[in-house]
Chain A
Amino acid sequence: MSGYLEGVLVILLLNVIFAYAVYWPLAAGQLNLGVAGFVGVGAYVSAYASNEYGVSPWLACIGAGMVTFVLALIIAVPVLRTRGIYLALATFAFGQVLQSLFLNLEVVGGAAGYPVLAYLGIGGIAVFAFAVFLVTAFLERTRFGLNMVAVHDDEAVSDLFGINVRRYQALAFAIGAAFAGLGGGLYGHHFSYIEPQNYSILFSISVVLFVLLGGTQTVFGPLLGAFFFTLLPEVLRGSEEWRYAIFAVLIIATMILRPQGLVTAGELRAVRRLFGGGALAGRSHG
């Protein structure tokens, strides 16, 4: 595999993980604009663990996900008291706080950045990205996933059926944060260097953008969004400086033509009916 291709693939795999980090809260009706903060925490925690304590990069990355999971549960208590645009602002503020924290933490290099000694290749990242997709796809088919959609669609009705709405919202937020932390750890261990500038609001926004582009109704939306967003700029590379303009036009066209995202639940059902003759039969077809 050429170095260029491998580089693009790694970014793609990481973007898939980040996409699911944003997808989970969105699936429960929350716009998390602080995902970069969780990615940063994961990157620094895992780098520190493997640099200072010699923890294996695999364990360090999984541990980073656990740390951000717990952190998100704690943060969820005040943040999830807000709704809609205020929730987005609260998560945005949280992300900014974390970024300035990284800038001022001398123990991990502050503004100068922090080198990561241990290395994790593309194989490891692929395993984790696949696992993140599988976990999401599995949870979506359980009662847990159904309840999550209910919470997203209508909190009052969910409450009516005895679903603990707050618990589901906090869990969605925390599962997303765990994936963000995991992805952050993988990023650091692959590129061997992390710095606070990586974890800015721009990063959060671009991930949110490609998840919305892919669609938030089904588990395939974020996957498609990540592919689209990672590969399209590369495909357009030939057109030199025009590529960003073309990319922007394509994004706007998607928003106009496919406001629900590239894949929607209704279409997925139609495809399943086509191949299986029924929802249940369709499920076994995958």
Chain B
Amino acid sequence: MRGKVKALLETQDLEVAYGRIEAVKGVSISVTEGEVVAVLGANGAGKSSLLKSIYGLVAPRGGEVRFAGRKLPPRATHTRIAGGLALVPEGRRILVSLTVDENLRLGACNRGDTADLDDDLEAIYARFSNLDQRRAMSASTLSGGEQQMLAIGRALMARPTLLMLDEPSLGLSPKLVGELFELLRQLNDEGLGILLVEQNTRKALQIAHRAYVLELGRCVAEGTPTQLHEGGKIEEAYLGQDGAG
């Protein structure tokens, strides 16, 4: 643990419930500035619910979320995006009736400083040359991989300090998954913090500095990739108690 560095994002005993079903049962995680943190776990472990409650898409039933030293109110997404927290949602959620350009601009729709918006837009296009060629085209004409790049570009338009991604590799070919993780590594090299919810454990652990393993709404393990591999915690979480012996 990086004890001395101040946490950028921190959750404390976060609980999320849908009616009587408890999806997250008191999870405390933290991400420091410029860190890549992965949240791993099987289907239904509560990973997405954790992300959604951090972002304010669902109100937590208990616990709190702190970002950049301030407590975030439940259910107010604009406070997240204004504060430097951005989310790339599961399934990309590109707006297909808009052009590539308009989708990107939408990412900045809550930004107060619009003066250098065009510069940021050009920076995104410089990074994603595929998108550059398709600026004025409908986003529906993009391939799955390009749509994922657009979703990430759109989130970057909000100028986040921490980018959260919900299952970004879902539905991508192995080659594109490789490119995606290379991009995330690059973004992190430039100083962006990343909180990654991923089913592709192997890939996620290749870029993560630390990871949390969730199981049925609880955090059952945390540590660096090496620590997790040595302790057999990953296998335990995915295969159940018997897997660990």
Contact = CB atoms under 8 A, between A and B. Distances in A.
A273 B138 CA distance: 12
Interface string B114-158: 000000000000000000000111100000000000000000001
B93 A147 contact: no
B159 interface: no
A154 B78 CA distance: 16
Given A156-B93, A162-B80, A266-B138, A279 B109 contact: no
B96 interface: yes
Contacts of A4: none
Contacts of A266: 138
A269 B109 contact: no
A153 B95 contact: yes
A164 B76 CA distance: 9
Nearest to B136: A279
Interface residues of B, number: 27
B172 interface: no
B57 interface: yes
Contact of A273 (B97, B136, B158): B136
Contact of A154 (B95, B102, B136): B95
Contacts of B81: 160-162
Contacts of A153: 95-98
Contact of B89 (A143, A160, A163, A273): A160
B82 interface: yes
A160 B77 contact: yes
Contacts of A249: none
A146 interface: yes
A154 B99 contact: no
A265 B95 CA distance: 13
A89 interface: no
Contacts of B78: 162-164
Contacts of A163: 78, 109-110
A161 B110 contact: yes
B109 A159 contact: no
Contact of A157 (B82, B93, B102): B93
A265 B97 contact: yes
Nearest to A273: B136
B225 interface: no
A279 B134 CA distance: 11
Interface string B182-208: 000000000000000000000000000
A217 B95 CA distance: 13
A14 interface: no
A150 interface: yes
Interface string A47-84: 00000000000000000000000000000000000000
A270 to B, nearest CB: 10
A81 B77 CA distance: 20
Contact of A161 (B96, B97, B98, B106): B106
Nearest to B158: A161
A104 B99 CA distance: 51
A147 B137 CA distance: 18
A110 B67 CA distance: 61
Interface in B81-108: 81-82, 87, 89, 93, 95-99, 101-102, 105-107
A146 B101 contact: no
A147 B105 CA distance: 10
16 contacts: A146-B102, A146-B105, A149-B95, A150-B109, A153-B95, A153-B97, A154-B95, A160-B89, A160-B93, A161-B158, A162-B110, A163-B78, A163-B110, A266-B138, A269-B136, A269-B138
Interface of B: 55, 57, 77-78, 80-82, 87, 89, 93, 95-99, 101-102, 105-107, 109-110, 135-138, 158
Given A149-B98, A154-B93, A160-B77, 14 more contacts: A143-B105, A146-B98, A146-B106, A147-B109, A150-B106, A156-B57, A161-B110, A161-B158, A162-B77, A162-B82, A163-B110, A278-B136, A279-B101, A279-B135
The 8 closest A-B pairs by CB, nearest first: A162-B78, A279-B136, A162-B110, A162-B81, A153-B95, A157-B93, A162-B77, A161-B109
